[in-house]
Copies of this chain bind each other. A is one copy, B any other.
Amino acid sequence: MKEIKTDILIVGAGYAGIAAAKKMHAAGKDFIIMEARDRIGGRTLTEDLASGVTVDMGAKWVGPTQHLVWEWIKETQTETYETYDQGKNLLKFKDKISSYTGTIPKIDPISLIDLGIAISKMNKLSEQISISDPWNHPRAKEYDAMTLATWMEKHIWTAKAKHLFEIGIQTVFAAEASEISLLFALFYFKSGDNMDTLISIKNGAQQSILKGGTQGLVKKIAVSFMDKIHLNEPLLKLIQNDGGVLAESPNLRIRAQKCILAIPPVLINSILFEPPLPQQKAQLYQRMPMGAAMKVYLIYPTPFWRELGFSGQIVSDEYPLKVTFDVGHADADQGVLLVFVEGNDARNFIDLAEDVRKKMIIERVEKIFGHQASTPMQYIDKCWTEEVYSRGCYTGLMGPNTLTQFGHQIRTPFQHVHFAGTETAEKWSGYLDGAISSGYRAASEVLK
C-alpha cells in the first residue's frame, strides 16, 4: 500500500474541503486532499448536456448575502445571471390553476392571511435564535422537543396555507416538516437570514446562477492545487496518536500532523476511529440524516412559456411536481425548466423506472403549460440519496433533541482532527457559503 506524508490532510474535496485547501495553499502549507469520488465538488455537479445546455444537478443558486461565494465568483471572473423572474407564476391546487406574481401564490384572502401570519411568526421566532449557540435560547428545550410539523399543526389553520407552507419547507430543507425539530428549523432560517430569504428569488437564496455551474466554480478555485488531490480514495480508518494521524483508504495510507474532515456528518459514521470518537460526537453523527433532494430538468427548444407571459415558476399540489423554475438565461434560445422533487416525494419517485418518471413529470407540466410542454428535447434527473458519498442532499438534518443535547459538539475538534462541512457553519448552514466558511474556520484552527 502506498504511503504518503504530509502536514495537513483534508478529507473531502467539496466546497468545504477546497476552501480549507485554498487557505493552506495561500499559507504555503504542505497538504493533501483525499476524496472518495472520482471527481471534486461534493454536492455540486455540473453537466454539459447533449442539448448544449449546462445544468447544475446539485447545488445551484447564489443569494446576494452569500459573500464568500461572491468572493470566489469575482476572483475567478465567473459570469452570473439572474434567475428569470418575469411574467406570471402559476399555482395548481386541487385541479384549479391560477396565476400570480411575487413569492406568495394568489389564494383566497383567509388562506393568504393565514400563510402570511405563519411566515411572519416563523421569522419572528427565528430572529431570536443565536446561530452560534441556538441551544442556549431560553426556550430551546421546548422548541427542540417538537417537530416543525407539530408547530405548523398548531399555528396554521387553513388547509391551503398549510399545504403551501409545507411545499416551502420541502423546498428549503429537502425534507418533511416532520423530520426536523422546530429549533433546528429556526436555526436554519436564521442562518440564511430568514424564511423569506430562503424561499425567494429576488434578494433571496435563488437569485443568481453561475455560468459554468457551481462545480465549475470550485474547479477553478482548485486548479492551482489539483496535484494535491487524490481521487477515488474513500477514508476507511483514522488512527491518532501523539504525533498526528494515520488515514487509510483501500489503496493509500497518509500520515499527517493534522486532519480536516470536510464530509457530510453521516459519512463520519463510516470511518473506523482509533481511539473511538468521543461518545457525544458519535451519538451526534447518528442523528444528522441527510435530506432527499432530486433535481429534474426538462430542456425545450425554446422557453415557450415566456412568450405565453409565464415566468416558468409553478407551485403545484400534484405529486411529484411541487415547484419549478425557469433557470435559462434571459437571452437563451433553449428553455430550461428545473423541477424540484423533495423529501418523501424524492425517496418514492426515484424508485420508479426512468421512463415512468419522465412520463409523469412531462404530463404534470403539460397540464399546466399546455401541449408545447409535451415534447422536451431532453429529460434528465438525479436523486442525491443514491450518491454513496453524500447519502442525500442538501444537508444533514436535525430531528428533536439533537441541537440541544449534541449541537455544541459540532465544531469541537477531536485531538488532531478538525471538522468542516456546511453543517458546521453558523452562517448559511446547508448552503455553499456555509461550506466555504466552515473550511476557512477549520483551516484557521489548524493554522493557529
**Which residue of A153, A178, A280 has the most chain B CB atoms within 10 A of its CB atom?**
A178
**Which residue of A147, A153, A179, A276 has the most chain B CB atoms within 10 A of its CB atom?**
A147
Are B144 and A146 in contact (CB-based, < 8 A)? no
Known contacts A145-B149, A234-B272, A347-B279; decide if A400 and B287 are in contact (CB<8 Å): no
**Option from B270, B282, B283, B400 in Cβ contact (under 8 Å) with A399:** B400
Over the window 228-245 of chain A, the binary record of Cβ atoms lying under 8 Å from chain B Cβ atoms (1 yes, 0 no) is: 000000101100000000
Known contacts A283-B347, A290-B286, A405-B344; decide if A400 and B276 are in contact (CB<8 Å): no
Q: Is A303 interfacial (CB-CB < 8 Å)?
A: no
Q: Which residues of B contact A391 (CB under 8 A)?
A: 282-283, 286
Say how far A183's CB is from chain B's closest CB, in angstroms: 10
> In the assembly, what is the distance between CA of A146 and CA of B280, in Å?
24
Q: Is A53 interfacial (CB-CB < 8 Å)?
A: no
Please name the residue on chain B nearest to A392 by beta carbon.
Answer: B283
| Segment among A366-374, A382-390, A436-444 that sits at the interface with chain B | A382-390
> In the assembly, what is the distance between CA of A270 and CA of B277, in Å?
14
Over the window 264-308 of chain A, the binary record of Cβ atoms lying under 8 Å from chain B Cβ atoms (1 yes, 0 no) is: 001001111100101110110011011010000000000000000
Are A283 and B272 in contact (CB-based, < 8 A)? no
Over the window 375-397 of chain A, the binary record of Cβ atoms lying under 8 Å from chain B Cβ atoms (1 yes, 0 no) is: 00000000101101001100000
Say how far A334's CB is from chain B's closest CB, in angstroms: 30
> In the assembly, what is the distance between CA of A127 and CA of B72, in Å?
58
Q: Is A446 interfacial (CB-CB < 8 Å)?
A: no
> In the assembly, what is the distance between CA of A269 and CA of B388, in Å?
10
Over the window 140-179 of chain A, the binary record of Cβ atoms lying under 8 Å from chain B Cβ atoms (1 yes, 0 no) is: 0000111101100100000000000000000000001111
> In the assembly, what is the distance between CA of A278 and CA of B289, in Å?
16
**Option from B146, B150, B289 in Cβ contact (under 8 Å) with A286:** B289
> In the assembly, what is the distance between CA of A271 and CA of B406, in Å?
24
Q: Is A38 interfacial (CB-CB < 8 Å)?
A: no
Q: Which residues of B contact A280 (CB under 8 A)?
A: 347, 351, 385
> In the assembly, what is the distance between CA of A388 and CA of B279, in Å?
9
Say how far A171's CB is from chain B's closest CB, in angstroms: 17
Please name the residue on chain B nearest to A400 by beta carbon.
Answer: B178
Known contacts A266-B286, A283-B292; decide if A236 and B272 are in contact (CB<8 Å): yes
Are B276 and A401 in contact (CB-based, < 8 A)? no
Q: Is A361 interfacial (CB-CB < 8 Å)?
A: no
Are A286 and B392 in contact (CB-based, < 8 A)? yes
17 additional A-B pairs beyond A236-B236, A273-B388, beta carbons within 8 Å, are A145-B147, A147-B147, A147-B400, A149-B400, A270-B271, A276-B386, A278-B351, A279-B347, A279-B350, A279-B383, A279-B385, A280-B385, A282-B385, A283-B292, A286-B391, A344-B401, A400-B400
Task: List 17 A-B pairs, Cβ < 8 Å.
Answer: A145-B147, A146-B149, A149-B400, A236-B236, A266-B269, A266-B286, A269-B270, A273-B388, A276-B386, A279-B350, A279-B385, A283-B392, A286-B391, A286-B392, A287-B289, A347-B406, A399-B400
What 5 A-B pairs are tightest by C-beta distance, nearest first?
A: A286-B289, A145-B178, A279-B385, A399-B399, A145-B149
